[in-house]
């Protein structure tokens, strides 16, 4: 039986920097603590939200260790270990396992478009070097390669590749995965505006940075789905869809940082070339947040 | 208050031809009768399924009249009257109204890409000449123009444009329509593989040729939604999704004709350049149908 | 040996309407006369520029006859006879042949996406009914179907399909045609902004509505190519590229009509839903024309 | 006056690895020497061909120094210094300048899509820290961000951003650059199959890995252009277009390595996840090379 340690809402923290451009680990731990306290069902550091590709190796290691120490087993952890080269991916996957991660997430980052065979061998090579489960992640918009449903199916034949995260924004990909792989396959939605459609299609979980800002509405959607209450799920989805679209459109690290500050939290600094939202964008976010903040507290 | 005469499953008959290439009106009426008897909530002749653009004016008129006589008021009728020129669209819309159609469906067919202003004036001109409601239809894949959500919103300001049919296959368009226009707006899904996602998003109805082949499963999906039973809706959707994808991929007129013949019904002939499915395609359809036929009867 | 009656600049007249919405045949003949007098190497009525799909059968026939009478054999004529159904395409192709057209142009217009086999049988059926050459025309943006280079190669096996017009705007399609089909194949460029790149790639001709406005620059480009003078070709191309882009972006019938009026010619009326350019667009066109009008006269 | 040190054919060496996965510097120097001897007008290490993003910082530095030592001023050098973060890009640009590079090439690599403002500030920050010229490079297929012509124009306002390399494969981008920026602007083509169209459009140079395999044909094309001899340019282009398409389709590092081996040269090893071409691909390349090898020697 496949080992599938995640379901529900898997929350992605940002990686904040201090004013000198260094990772601000104390702030990072506070942000992780907020996510655990908000009821998130899993914590996923070093994702796109966590600007994984912009970090040095020692920074990635420090963030991994800080997450595991802070979460302290209260919920499972999913550590991003993707890298352009196979050797480096193995290196970080082994580090995450040794540090106590529940599972690792791997997107086949590409500069040169990879062939299917190159992708399979990449996952095979990493999987053979660790014992914890792997979530294979498809996101052509950031990773640069689009894995076909057939390729994702092939990856699931690797014993510890047990989960698929789909972020293409095409719900028909999820239909295919479910039809081809049966009800036991665990697929996760990584496209925030598809949260309702993906749960309707049978997604096991939702990988999202939104709980940094509106955890009550996020958990509320999942709970309505668990209760088989579509009318309520639709209602709570439409209450949050504007925020979900905003954070995706503006880029998750920039939008979450700005949202945290609007909520009175410290969001830290960004690492260049990423810049803060401009004033118009912040005003737009403020307006969206103000209309849903109270709704969020009702759910949390 | 807007006049919205449709909800649920709106069924699209094909337009069958005889061996001499003429519209086979007696067969057409039998096919319409099947759709009414199957429990469809509306009948929509002269859609894409009905190969509207391949018909002469007298053929369109005969099909319109045959539909209205055969349905005889048992369910509402939605007659396709789209045409490249504004004058011809007005001509057919007036004919449909006089013949007794409940409403007309209009897609802004384009050879030359139309500007938003040209589209608005096109709908305005037609709407001012008839009293029955208009369903505005967006389907860039067949019509050649993609109406933005903002343009669709603008069209709804025309008094008798009361319904929107969205066939882009992008569920986020439906989110936008619902958010921008409020819960009262009636939007219909015209993308078969999105049937579950669209109903989850709050679609009022589903415009589909599938009831020609599997009406029980189609109505079963709608009934599960009415019962707020997402688990059942998901189950019955996955039972039909392979057929829904097949008929869309192969072209509705060709696929429905072949499916009717596999079910022991007469599907008539196609008008060139359209050709029947080849043998491999028919075998694939036979296999899909054989696995879901029994399921379909349970629902019907 | 293949019969290839066209080379150089093949000019497309608009189809003007009078204020009552009827085709203005006297004006049409004057516009054709202008094109012949300007030095165009061929005249192609009933193209996209001539709003073929917006015309009734009698209108198409009147335009065909008017063209052939007016041109009176001074240059070859290429009559558009495309239609959604195969039977109607045959009808108009036979009419054109009987009326004295040099060749016909056929784009596989589609509402339902056609399979390659359907397209081949469509051309086969028409070709077997006429004796004059056929130019197969690929333009997914208006026709709705994109014929692959391999399919175009297959169409050239039909004896009287002797010419290919490519309007995808991708110069690599032309490289493929030239490499696959050898130097004898006649391919024509239908994408105005690619005029220089297509001639550089070896195109036999350029199908364009631009000679309605700037014939001197158009012929100047072709003459520079004939003289193997790339530096001059580049110079004269950059002098006209802004106009070429403008007329494509705004739609050829609308832009040519406006340009004729700016040049002091009568452009007639458009048929709805097409509307005239707005004032800003007319001003932009005026500015472009004013900077190149003199250049044009130097060449003509 | 802008400092523009490159014209003609700028050759991109691969970065070869030894069997233990380390950069094979002696082999790299031999490959650079081949390119200089073949008549290339510039040498560009650490491009996409040189798998820049797969290298560690010390490896990049070693490749930079090896290039400059080997070239020894015989032709100008263009060193790739792109990096996801601004700080690292500055670091490598300064290293290249100090090592003696003639210019640096920078593509705004993105994981998170960058805003125009973020891209401008990124280039500004780097440009202010070095004195040598910068070639701004647009290649959405590998870099993940598509810089609009308007943005490229804005970047050219930065004093030492003096050159643009365009690799979108759309020749109309080049028309725009030439029209907007005047004849003085130096734009370079990075899309191999567009080599003829780009030179016809006025490109100053061609950035290409092809001289690793067919330098004679590459220089032959440029020389025909210099001689204003379009007919010859077309002829020599069609002789090499199949190879140009092959190396782009298969990925430059993989295809060049295989081609070197077919020519009897050592191509070294690839770094995972990149894998060698499979046997069918190698046979296809062998066939292409065998038909053009002799032609190449005629030109060289």
Can you tell me the distance from the alpha carbon of B272 to that of C85, in angstroms, rounded to the nearest whole number? 6
Question: Does residue C247 belong to any structural domain of this protein?
Answer: no
- Is residue C1 over pLDDT 60? no
User: Would an 8 Å CB–CB cutoff place D169 in contact with chain C?
Assistant: yes
Q: Which of B12, B137, B188, B222 is an active site residue?
A: B137
Condensed to tens digits (0 to 9), the pLDDT of residues D236-275 reads 999 999 999 999 999 999 999 999 999 999 999 999 899 9
Packing angle of the helix pair C86-99, C116-127 (nearest 10 deg): 30
Question: For chain A, what percent of residues have pLDDT higher than 70?
Answer: 98
pLDDT < 50: residue spans in chain D: none
- Cis before C273? omega within 30: yes
- Overall number of domains in chain C: 1
Q: Which residues of A65-95 are buried (b: 16+ CB within 10 A; e: fewer)?
A: bbbbebbeeebbbbbbbbbbbbebbbbbbeb
> HEC states along chain C?
CCCCCCCEEEECCCCCECCCCCECHHHHHHHHHHHHHCCCCEECCCCCCCCHHHCCHHHHHHHHHHHHHHHCCCCCEEEECCCCCHHHHHHHHHHHHHHCCCEEEECCCCCCCCCHHHHHHHHHHHHCCCCCCEEEEECHHHHCCCCCHHHHHHHCCCCCEEEEEECCCCHHHHHHHHHHHCCCCEEEECCHHHHHHHHHCCCCEEEECHHHCCHHHHHHHHHHHHCCEHHHHHHHHHHHHHHHHHHHHHCHHHHHHHHHHHCCCCCCECCCCCCCCCHHHHHHHHHHHHHHHHHHHHHC
pLDDT of residue C293: 72
| Segment B86-98 mean pLDDT | 97
The pLDDT assigned to B296 comes to 72
Specify the pLDDT at position D180: 82
Chain A closest-CA separation from residue D159 CA (Å): 20
User: Does residue C108 belong to any structural domain of this protein?
Assistant: yes
All chains having 3 or more CB pairs closer than 8 angstroms to chain C: B, D
pLDDT digits 0-9 by tens, A202-252 = 999 999 999 999 999 999 999 999 999 999 999 999 999 999 999 999 999
The answer to whether residue C228 is domain-embedded is no
Separation between Cα atoms, residue C184 and residue C1, nearest integer Å? 9
Q: Given this model, what pLDDT does residue A109 score?
A: 76
Q: Does A195 touch chain B (CB under 8 A)?
A: no
Burial bucket for residue D157 (CB in 10 Å: 0-12, 13-18, 19+)? exposed
Checking if the pLDDT of B216 tops 80, the result is: yes
Would residue C299 count as lying in a domain? no
**Secondary structure of C136-193 as H, E, C letters:** EEECHHHHCCCCCHHHHHHHCCCCCEEEEEECCCCHHHHHHHHHHHCCCCEEEECCHH
Query: Quick check: D288 and D242 in contact, CB under 8 A?
Result: yes
Cα–Cα nearest to C47, from C33, C67, C27, C29: C67
CA distances from D67 to C154, D48, D211, D252 (A): 49, 16, 16, 19
Categorize the per-residue pLDDT at B140 as very low, low, confident or very high, splitting at 50, 70 and 90.
confident
CA distance A275 to chain D (A): 6
Q: What DSSP character marks residue D210? A: G
| C123, C137, C188, C222: the active-site residue | C137
Q: Does chain C touch chain A (at least 3 C-beta pairs within 8 Å)?
A: no
pLDDT at residue C108 in the model? 87
The C-alpha torsion from C232 through C236 and C237 to C238, rounded to 10°, is 110
Query: Number of helices (H) and strands (E), helices first, in chain D?
Result: 12, 8
Instruction: Provide the mean pLDDT of chain D.
Output: 94
In which region does residue A10 sit, left (phi positive, over 0), alpha (psi from -120 to 50) or beta (all else)?
beta
The pLDDT assigned to B297 comes to: 66
Tell me the per-residue pLDDT of A172-187, one tens digit each, with 9 for 90 and over.
Answer: 989 988 888 877 779 9
Q: Give yes or no for B125 touching C (CB within 8 A).
A: yes
Q: Verify whether residue B91 is a known catalytic residue.
A: no
* Active-site position among A123, A137, A188, A222: A137
Q: How far apart are CA B257 and CA B265, in angstroms?
A: 9
| Residues whose CB falls within 8 Å of the CB of residue C169, separated by 6 or more in sequence, listed in order | C191, C193, C194, D172
- Please enumerate in sequence order all residues whose Cβ is within 8 A of that of A26, keeping only pairs 6 or more positions apart, or say none: none
C193, D202: Cβ pair inside 8 Å? no
pLDDT confidence tier of residue A297, bands split at 50, 70 and 90: low
Contacts of A169 in chain B (CB under 8 A): 172
Chain A closest CA to D73's CA: distance in Å? 31
Q: Give me the sign of the Cα torsion angle A63, A66, A71, A72.
A: positive
Distance between CA atoms of residues D95 and C124, nearest Å = 65
Task: Please report the pLDDT score of residue C185 as a whole number.
Answer: 77
Return the residue matching tokens 């070197």: D260
Residue among D196, D128, D188, D193 nearest D163 (CA): D188
A300 pLDDT higher than 70: no
Q: Which residues of C touch B108 (CB under 8 A)?
A: 273
Cα(C69)–Cα(B219) distance, integer angstroms: 61
Candidates D155, D273, D274: best to mutate against A (most CBs of A within 10 A) is D273
Q: Catalytic residue at B245?
A: no
Determine, for residues C179 and D241 on separate chains, whether the beta-carbon distance falls below 8 Å.
yes
Residues paired with D229 in a beta bridge? C229
CA–CA separation, A54 and A46 (whole Å): 10
Chain B residues near residue A201 by CB distance under 8 angstroms: 196-197, 234
User: Are the C-beta atoms of A105 and A127 separated by less than 8 Å?
Assistant: no
Q: Is residue B1 part of a domain?
A: no
Is the previous residue joined to A140 through a cis bond, with omega within 30 degrees of 0? Answer: no
Tens-digit pLDDT profile for residues C150-195: 899 899 999 999 999 999 888 998 998 888 887 777 999 999 999 9
B1, pLDDT greater than 60: no
Cβ distance B230 to A230 less than 8 Å, yes or no, reads yes
Predicted pLDDT of residue A292: 86
pLDDT at B33 over 70: yes
pLDDT tens digits along A100-137:
999 999 998 777 788 999 999 999 999 999 999 999 99
Bridge partners, A137 (sequence order): A165
B61 pLDDT tier (thresholds 50, 70, 90): very high
**Both tokens assigned to D143:** 């870099």
Chain B touched by C144 (CB under 8 Å):
yes
Q: Is the dihedral of CA D25, D31, D37, D39 positive or negative?
A: negative
pLDDT value of position B134: 97
Whole-angstrom distance, CA of residue D153 vs CA of residue D136 = 10
pLDDT of residue A234: 97
Nearest to A119 by CA among A137, A95, A96: A137
Contact present, B296 and B212 (Cβ < 8 Å)? no
How many angstroms separate the CA atoms of A46 and B83, rounded?
54
- Catalytic one of B12, B60, B123, B165: B165
Beta strands in B56-119 (DSSP E): 78-80, 103-106
Is B229 in contact with A225 (Cβ distance < 8 A)? Answer: no
A181/B contact by beta carbon, under 8 A: no
Q: Looking at CA atoms only, how far is residue D178 from chain C in angstroms?
A: 8
Q: How confident is the model at residue C145 (pLDDT cuts 50, 70, 90)?
A: confident
Residue A279, judged by CB atoms within 10 A of its CB (0-12, 13-18, 19+), counts as exposed
Query: Which residue bears the tokens 């690895």?
Result: D17
**Touching subunits for chain D (3+ Cβ pairs under 8 A):** A, C
Q: List the domain range (segments joined by +) for residue A49.
A: 8-213
Model confidence at B181: pLDDT above 90: no
For the stretch B54-93, what's the b/e string if a residue is b when 16 or more beta carbons lie within 10 angstroms of its beta carbon? bbeeebbbbbbbbbbebbeeebbbbbbbbbbbbebbbbbb
* All partners of chain A with 3 or more CB pairs under 8 angstroms: B, D
Q: Which tens digits make up the pLDDT trace of A60-76?
A: 999 999 999 999 999 99
Q: Which of A60, A165, A250, A257 is catalytic?
A: A165
Q: Does B140 touch chain C (CB under 8 A)?
A: no
- Cβ atoms C252, C291 nearer than 8 A: no
Rounded Cα distance between B113 and A131, Å, is: 56
CB pairs under 8 A between A and D: 89
Residue C163 half-sphere exposure, CB side, CA atoms within 13 Å? 26
- Which residue positions of A form the known binding site for pyruvate? 49
Structural domain includes residue B3 = no
Q: With 60 as the cut, is the pLDDT of residue A1 above it?
A: no
Q: Which of D12, D123, D137, D176 is catalytic?
A: D137
pLDDT for position D184:
74
List of residues 6+ apart from B76 with CB closer than 8 A: B5, B6, B41, B42, B43, B102, B103
From the CB of residue D3, how many other CB atoms can be counted at a distance below 10 Å? 14
Quick count: other Cβ atoms within 10 Å of Cβ B229?
16
Question: Which positions in chain A touch B238 (Cβ < 8 Å)?
Answer: 175, 178-179, 202
Give percent of chain B with pLDDT exceeding 90.
83
Nearest CA in chain A to B224: A230
Residues on chain D touching A140 (C-beta within 8 angstroms):
none
pLDDT of D299 reads 65
For the segment B143-166, the average pLDDT, to the nearest whole number, is: 90
- The closest CB to that of C230, out of D193, D194, D228, belongs to D228
Contact D275 A85 (CB under 8 A): no
Cross-strand pairs, B11 = B43, B208
Distance from CA of B3 to the nearest CA of A (A): 24
The CA–CA distances, whole Å, from A125 to A119, A131, A148 equal 10, 12, 20
**What pLDDT, in 10s, does the model give residues C61-93?**
999 999 999 999 999 999 999 999 999 999 999
Please report whether residue B22 resides in a domain: yes
Residues in C closer than 8 angstroms to B111, CB to CB, are 48, 51-54, 142
Q: Specify the CATH number for the domain of residue B216.
A: 3.20.20.70
Q: Could you tell me if residue A174 is inside a domain?
A: yes
Burial class (CB in 10 A: 0-12, 13-18, 19+), D263: middle
Rounded alpha-carbon distances, angstroms, from residue B50 to B62, B67, B106, C115: 13, 12, 14, 19
Q: Per-residue b/e over B248-273, b at no fewer than 16 CB within 10 Å?
A: bebbbbbbbbbbbbbeebebbbbbbb
Of the candidates A171, A229, A238, the beta carbon closest to that of B171 is on: A171
| Cα distance between residue B171 and residue A193, in whole Å | 9
Q: Which residues contact C1 (CB under 8 A, 6 or more apart)?
A: none
* pLDDT confidence bin for C144, thresholds 50/70/90: confident
- Distance, in Å, from the CA atom of A46 to the CA atom of A64, rounded to the nearest integer, reads 8
Quote the pTM value.
Answer: 0.93
């Amino acid at each position: 039986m496949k080992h599938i340690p995640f379901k529900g809402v898997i929350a992605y923290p940002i990686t904040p920097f201090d004013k000198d451009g260094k990772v601000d680990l104390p702030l990072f731990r506070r942000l992780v603590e907020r996510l655990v306290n908000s009821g998130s069902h899993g914590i996923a550091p070093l994702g796109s939200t966590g600007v994984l590709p912009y970090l040095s190796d020692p920074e990635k290691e420090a963030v991994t260790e800080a997450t595991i120490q802070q979460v302290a087993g209260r919920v499972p952890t999913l550590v991003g270990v993707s890298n352009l080269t196979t050797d480096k991916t193995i290196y970080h996957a082994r580090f995450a396992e040794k540090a106590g991660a529940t599972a690792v997430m791997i997107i086949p980052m590409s500069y040169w478009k990879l062939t299917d065979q190159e992708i399979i061998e990449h996952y095979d090579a990493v999987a053979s070097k660790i014992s914890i489960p792997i979530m294979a992640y498809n996101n052509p918009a950031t990773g640069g390669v689009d894995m076909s449903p057939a390729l994702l199916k092939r990856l699931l034949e690797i014993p510890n590749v047990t989960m698929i995260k789909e972020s293409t924004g095409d719900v028909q990909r999820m239909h295919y995965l479910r039809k081809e792989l049966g009800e036991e396959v665990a697929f996760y939605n990584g496209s925030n505006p598809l949260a309702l459609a993906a749960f309707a299609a049978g997604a096991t979980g939702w990988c999202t940075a939104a709980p940094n800002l509106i955890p009550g509405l996020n958990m509320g959607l999942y709970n309505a789905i668990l209760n088989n209450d579509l009318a309520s799920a639709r209602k709570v989805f439409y209450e949050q869809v504007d925020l979900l679209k905003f954070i995706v459109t503006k880029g998750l690290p920039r939008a979450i940082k700005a949202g945290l500050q609007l909520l009175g939290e410290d969001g830290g600094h960004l690492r260049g070339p990423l810049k803060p939202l401009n004033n118009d964008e912040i005003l737009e976010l403020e307006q969206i947040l103000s209309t849903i903040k109270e709704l969020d507290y009702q759910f949390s």
